[in-house]
Amino acid sequence: MSDNTNTEAGAEVTTDGAEQKQEATFSQADVDRIVKERIARVEAKYADYPDLKAKADGAKTVEQQLADLVAKHAEAEARVQRSEIASKYGITPEDRDLFLTGSDPAALEAQAKRLAERIADTKKNGNVARNEGDTKSTGNADSDEHEFVSTLFGGSD
């Protein structure tokens, strides 16, 4: 016998006719079984995915809570700053909430200073409507109206 090999149709055959390697064929049941085994391995690999997803969602919630707290803290600091500046210039809480809208200390100071100046000016001069009551008579047209009204109501000069 010889050790020579020949290759015919994808299988190695020795000179004596015995096959050493044969092409594998699978039935549908074998394929189904192999696929199910592979799916089971993948599912086992990612079995903790729902727990991890829940933890990730919880982390997002914690991050959102942190962002909300940071925003509330910044808002509280701004409110305290507005209150301090308003009290420094003698501005009432109602006016403070309405007029002091700046986002930085310099803007708040400028607004408070200007508002305090206006309040002081109003207290000093009272409420002033410039040129109120300064009615100028043009003469003839005014006397015609006056005469008409007098005749209408029966009054005399």
Q: How many domains does the chain have?
A: 1
**For residue 69, is it within any domain?**
yes
**For residue 155, is it within any domain?**
no
**For residue 157, is it within any domain?**
no
The whole-number pLDDT of residue 9 equals: 43
* pLDDT > 90 fraction of the chain, expressed in percent and rounded: 25
pLDDT at 7 over 50: no
**For residue 98, is it within any domain?**
yes
The whole-number pLDDT of residue 11 equals: 45
Residue written as tokens 């410039």?
Answer: 130
The whole-number pLDDT of residue 4 equals: 47
- Domain membership of residue 104 as a residue range: 27-125
**For residue 13, is it within any domain?**
no
**For residue 153, is it within any domain?**
no
CA separation (Å) from 77 to 100, 101, 123? 14, 14, 31
